[in-house]
Structures are given as structure tokens and as C-alpha cells.
């Protein structure tokens, strides 16, 4: 990549903003987890983790994360959890048939959308997740960042759900993804909101700031800017309704009152356990703990629904949700 210069073996420094391509970048003294700091583009206000890990470093990092993140859910839950996605698809592309999810993990959402009658397909870099997608949910998943070139221009909907914050170059990533869209095809993107209530309250202690996992931190404006030139936003809003806000706030609060060390130890312990889908007993314990925390968070959030409704209206919701389509005069592709 021409935009970066090497500073050491595992990391590089950006010299151009990945969103607006300007070179007006600054690195604050704000330290994030794992010795990263918060970089900011003074032109478009895009925020990112500094320095940037190299691909080999990221591959090692992801390989070291435990498969505790993966668990099987019922068809009933998959249907329930894809209600919002289904609504967004019907509203923005009523004739849509083919769906691709890039970075689909175990294919849980694809399972729900398949049950709703769509033709679905995914791509995913984690081989454990790809195997589980086939075994658990019977969905077709390519073990690569994108499907093979024979699938270009094929999909009516491309879902990019909590992926763009992880990639090295989000603009290039979306441009490549866009080549897989059919005419009138749409992107449905979700990513954490860097202007969320949680981040405003807890700043760098908020779990969203977790490099080298998360590398890019978008606002409503920078997320629209990172879209390919030929895309037009159709829907752009913040969304709190995923149950994780309270969970993240509790973790951030513990970190703020100096229990951060203990939490980091717990997290790194969890992350250094080598991926092994057969260590079920240990995974089940962690899964039960996470599931309990998540349930508590979800119930609290449901009770506080009017509050979170207003938070979303004010643009302070936990996540950004963006739907975009290729502009009409760009429909003829090369």
C-alpha cells in the first residue's frame, strides 16, 4: 500500500485518511487498549486506531481468539432476530432475492433470512466459523474475504454487519464489495457509532475501542463518506435496540473505577485460549455467563425503551445503520 510507511515489523502508520484521502491526520494522547491510540483526520473527523496492524499480525490475533464467540441458536430465534433486516430489505429493495453477507461468521442471520425465503450465501475468513455455518445452519459460505469472481454482480442485498470496523482499508473494502451487487442492489451496513451515548460517557473505557479487533470508528457522517462514490444513502440512522448497551456500559463503568486491569486480564485470558471447538465444557461456562449478562442487558433495555428511543432520535444510539444503493446513472457497469 502506498498510503503507509513502515515503522516496525508488525505495524504501520497511516499517512492518508482512509475515508477522505487527505493527509491532515493527528494522533491524540488518548490511549486505547493494547497500547494503541486514537487517530483523527482533521479534515473529515474520521477516527481510527493508531498504529495500523499489518495483515500477518491480524491473522495471528484472530487465530488466537477462542471459539467461545460461536454458539448455536434455534431457527425460531434466527427468524426473530432477522425481523429488522427483513423489514429493511422489503422497504429498500422489495424484489430482492439473493443475499450475500460478507463476514457472516457462523451464518446465523443468513439462516434466518433463508427461512424467510431468500437465497443466501456468505463469505468468512474464520475457518471454524465456516465449518459451523455448514454444520449448524446449512448455509453456503466461502472461506475467503469475498466470494469468487464468478459471483460478481449477483447479489440484490449485501449485508456488512459489524465488519467494516475490523478491516484495514474500509473504502477499498466497500468498493470491492460493491462489485458483487446486482443492478438496484443495496448495501445494509451496521457498525458501532463513535458518537454513541456510551462513548460520550465512558470515552476510551468503552468496549467499542478494542484494537486490534476494531480499527475504524465511524460517525454517521464518516460512514456515509466511506461509501463508494457511486452509492447513494437511502437510510442512515443510529440504533440501540440490540441489547448490548447496558452490557457495554457495565463493562465500561468497571473499567472506569479501576477494575480495568482485572477485566483486561479476563479478556486476554479468554482471547488467548486457542480455538478448539471441542473444548465444549469450558466454552459452555463462558457462553452461559455471556448469555446471562446479555439477557440482563436486553431486559433492562426493553424496560428503558422510551429512553433508548430518544437516544436514537438524538443520534446517540449504540450502532449506525446505513442502507445505500448504486446511483441510477451508474448502473451500467464496466
Minimum distance of Zn ion from residue 188's CB (angstroms) = 24
Alpha-carbon Rg of the chain, whole angstroms?
19
Between residues 131 and 221, which has the closer beta carbon with respect to Zn ion?
A: 221
The set of long-range contacts for 56-62, using a CB threshold of 8 Å and a minimum separation of 24, is: 56/10, 57/10, 57/11, 57/212, 58/168, 58/212, 61/212, 61/213, 62/125, 62/126
d(CA 316, CA 302): 17
Nearer to Zn ion, 33 or 47 (CB): 47
- Is residue 3 near Zn ion by the rule CB under 5 A? no
Q: Any contact of residue 194 with Zn ion (CB under 5 A)? A: no
What gap in Å lies between CA 18 and CA 25, rounded to an integer? Answer: 10
Minimum CB–partner distance for residue 20 and Zn ion (Å): 3
Q: How many residues bind Zn ion (CB under 5 A)?
A: 7
Using CB under 5 A as the binding rule, whether residue 311 contacts Zn ion is answered as no
Comparison of 46 and 173: residue with beta carbon closer to Zn ion: 46
Decide whether 128 or 165 has the Cβ nearer to Zn ion.
165
CB 165 within 8 A of CB 217: yes
Backbone φ/ψ region at 112: left (φ over 0), alpha (ψ -120 to 50), beta: alpha
Nearer to Zn ion by Cβ, of 3 and 119: the residue is: 3
Whole-number minimum distance, CB 321 to Zn ion, in Å? 22
Q: Which is nearer to Zn ion, 171 or 325 (CB)?
A: 171
Q: Judged by CB, which is closer to Zn ion: 18, or 317?
A: 18
Q: Is residue 221 close enough to count as binding Zn ion by CB under 5 A? A: no
Q: What angle do CA 110, 111, 116 make, to 5 degrees?
A: 90
**Residue 46: CB minimum distance to Zn ion, A:** 5
Shortest Å, Cβ 224 to Zn ion = 13
Minimum distance of Zn ion from residue 249's CB (angstroms): 29
Q: Is 316 in the site for Zn ion (CB under 5 A)?
A: no
Instruction: Give the C-alpha separation, 290 to 250, whole Å.
Output: 13
How do beta strands 4-6 and 11-14 pair?
antiparallel
Report the site for Zn ion in 17-56 (rule: CB under 5 A): 17, 19-20, 41, 43-44, 46
Task: Check binding of 168 to Zn ion (CB under 5 A).
Answer: no
Residue 223 phi/psi, 5-degree rounding, is: -70, -40
Q: Using the rule CB under 5 A, is 223 a contact of Zn ion?
A: no
109 — phi, psi (to 5°)? Answer: -65, -35
What are the distances in angstroms from CA 224 to CA 170, 187, 191, 228? 12, 12, 12, 9
**Which stretch, 14-22, 28-36, 135-143, 283-291, contacts Zn ion (CB under 5 A)?**
14-22
Q: How far is the CB of 225 from Zn ion (least distance, A)?
A: 8
Task: Name which of 46 and 118 has its Cβ closer to Zn ion.
Answer: 46
- Please report how close the Cβ of residue 17 comes to Zn ion at its closest, in angstroms: 3
Q: From the CB of 37, what's the least distance to Zn ion, in Å? A: 17
Confirm or reject binding of residue 226 to Zn ion (CB under 5 A).
Answer: no
Cβ proximity to Zn ion, 218 vs 247, nearer residue: 218
The stretch near Zn ion (CB under 5 A) out of 15-23, 78-86, 101-109, 208-216 is 15-23
Polymer length of the chain: 334
Interface positions with Zn ion (CB under 5 A) = 17, 19-20, 41, 43-44, 46
Amino acid at each position: 500500500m502506498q498510503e503507509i510507511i513502515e515503522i516496525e515489523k508488525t505495524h504501520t502508520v497511516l499517512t492518508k485518511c482512509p475515508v477522505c484521502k487527505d493527509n491532515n491526520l493527528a494522533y491524540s494522547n488518548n490511549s486505547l487498549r493494547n497500547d494503541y491510540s486514537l487517530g483523527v483526520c482533521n479534515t473529515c473527523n474520521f477516527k481510527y486506531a493508531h498504529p495500523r496492524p499489518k495483515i500477518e499480525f491480524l491473522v495471528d490475533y484472530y487465530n488466537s481468539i477462542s471459539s467461545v464467540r460461536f454458539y448455536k441458536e434455534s431457527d425460531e430465534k434466527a427468524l426473530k432476530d432477522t425481523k429488522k433486516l427483513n423489514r429493511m430489505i422489503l422497504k429498500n429493495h422489495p424484489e430482492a432475492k439473493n443475499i450475500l453477507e460478507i463476514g457472516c461468521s457462523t451464518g446465523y442471520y443468513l439462516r434466518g433470512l433463508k427461512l424467510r425465503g431468500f437465497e443466501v450465501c456468505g463469505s468468512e475468513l474464520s475457518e471454524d466459523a465456516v465449518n459451523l455455518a455448514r454444520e449448524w445452519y446449512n448455509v453456503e459460505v466461502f472461506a475467503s474475504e469475498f466470494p469468487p469472481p464468478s459471483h460478481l454482480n449477483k447479489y440484490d442485498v449485501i449485508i456488512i454487519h459489524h465488519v467494516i470496523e475490523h478491516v484495514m482499508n474500509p473504502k477499498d473494502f466497500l468498493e470491492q464489495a460493491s462489485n458483487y451487487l446486482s443492478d438496484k442492489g443495496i448495501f445494509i451496513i451496521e457498525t458501532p457509532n463513535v458518537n454513541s451515548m456510551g462513548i460520550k460517557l465512558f470515552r476510551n473505557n468503552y468496549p467499542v475501542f478494542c484494537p486490534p479487533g476494531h480499527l475504524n470508528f465511524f460517525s454517521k457522517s464518516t460512514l456515509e463518506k466511506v461509501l463508494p462514490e457511486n452509492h447513494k444513502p437511502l437510510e442512515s440512522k443510529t440504533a440501540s435496540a440490540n441489547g448490548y448497551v447496558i452490557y457495554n456500559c457495565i463493562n465500561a463503568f468497571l473499567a472506569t473505577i479501576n477494575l480495568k486491569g482485572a477485566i483486561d486480564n479476563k479478556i486476554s485470558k479468554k482471547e488467548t485460549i486457542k480455538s478448539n471447538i471441542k473444548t465444549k465444557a469450558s466454552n459452555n461456562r463462558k457462553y452461559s455467563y455471556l448469555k446471562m449478562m446479555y439477557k440482563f442487558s436486553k431486559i433492562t433495555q426493553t424496560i428503558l425503551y422510551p429512553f433508548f428511543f430518544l437516544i436514537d432520535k438524538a443520534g446517540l444510539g449504540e450502532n449506525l445503520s446505513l442502507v445505500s444503493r448504486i446511483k441510477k446513472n451508474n448502473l451500467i457497469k464496466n
